[in-house]
Amino acid sequence: MNLALFIGKRLLTILITVVAILAISFIMMRFAPGGFFNSATIASGLGTLALQNPHLYQEYLQMFEKQYGLNQPLWRQTLTYVWHSLTFNFGTSFENPSVPIITQLKTALPISALLAGGSIVLALLIGIPLGVIAAVKRNTWIDSVLTTLSMTGQAIPSYVLGVIAVLLFGVWISGILPVNGWGTPADAVLPIVCLSAGNIGVITRYMRSSLVEGLRQEYIRTAEAKGIRYWHIIWRHGIRNSLTALITVVGPTFAFTVVGTVWVENIFSIPGLGTLLANAFTSDDIPLAITSVYILSLMVMLMNLIVDITYSLLDPRVKLR
C-alpha cells in the first residue's frame, strides 16, 4: 500500500477514535458523582455566600454555567467540547481558571515525557544485554535467573517500587537522593529507576525470545557452517535483526509509560501530567480530566502509527496494510 494512503487511513481512524473517546469521557464525567459545584473551590469560595446572600449566590452559579456552557443541552455541550478539543482550544479548568489548560499541559507534559523517555533509555541499556545473554545461554541456570528477574520486574508495580524507594532513601539512608520535588537532575533519578523496572523486564524477555527465534533460522546455520565466528554471527545477524523487531515494543511502551507516571509522580511530588490527571479527577475538574485523557490516548495512537511506519521502512519484508 502507498505510504501516503496508509498514513491517511490511519489518521482518519485516529480521528474517529479520538472523537469517540472525547464524547464518551465528557458524558461520563458529566454524570459522575459530585460535579463542579460540589468541588473544593466552589465550596470554600461561595459556601458562606450561599447563606448570606442566596440571590447573589445563584447569580454566581449562573455566571459559571454560562462561562463553561453548562446551561446548554448535553448534546450541544458534548459537540462543542469535542470540536474545541480537536482544535486544541481546551479553555480553562474549573479548579484553576486563571491559567489556561494548554499552559498547564506545556508545563506538565515535558516532565512526564522526560521520565518516560529516561526509563525507556535505561531499560534498553540494561534489557538488551540481559536479553542477549539469556538467549545465548538459553536453557541454562543463567537463562533461568534472568528470566525470573525480568518477570519479577514486570510483576512489581512502579508505585510499589516508588514507596520502597521513598522509605529507603527518605528514611533509612536519607540524603543520598531526593525523594520529592522537581527542579534538579537528581530529582529524576528515583522516578526513572522505578518506572524502568517493568520496561527492563519487557525488553529482556522480548529480546531473548526474538534472538532465540532468529538463531534457529537457516541463514544462521549456513553462517556457522561457513566457519564464521560465533559472536560475529550473533551480532551481525542475530542482534541486528532482533533490534529491528524491538521497535514494535519500544514505541507503545513509551506511550504507556507516560500514562503510568500517575502514581510515581504523586509519590515523588512531581508536577507532571500524571499529577495533573490525578488532581483533575479527584476535584471533578471535567475539562482538565478529559483533556489529560485525550492527550494520553492521542499519544498512544500516534506512537503506534510511528512504529508501524518506521518498522516498514527498516524491514522491506513488512508491508503496510
Segment among 64-78, 164-178, 202-216 with least mean pLDDT: 64-78
**Higher-confidence position of 182 and 316:** 182
What pLDDT does 40 receive?
A: 45
Task: List the chain domain ranges.
Answer: 3-86, 104-282
Distance, in Å, from the CA atom of 16 to the CA atom of 86, rounded to the nearest integer, reads: 11
The DSSP string of 16-40 is HHHHHHHHHHHHHHHTSSS-GGGSH
Proportion of the chain above pLDDT 70, given as a percent: 80
User: Coil, helix or strand for 197?
Assistant: helix
pTM of the model: 0.76
Question: pLDDT band at 318, cuts 50/70/90?
Answer: low
CATH number of 104-282: 1.10.3720.10
Q: Is the pLDDT of residue 39 over 50?
A: no
Dihedral sign for Cα atoms in the order 186, 192, 194, 197: negative
Distance, in Å, from the CA atom of 220 to the CA atom of 223, rounded to the nearest integer, reads: 5
What pLDDT does 31 receive?
A: 72
Proportion of the chain above pLDDT 90, given as a percent: 2
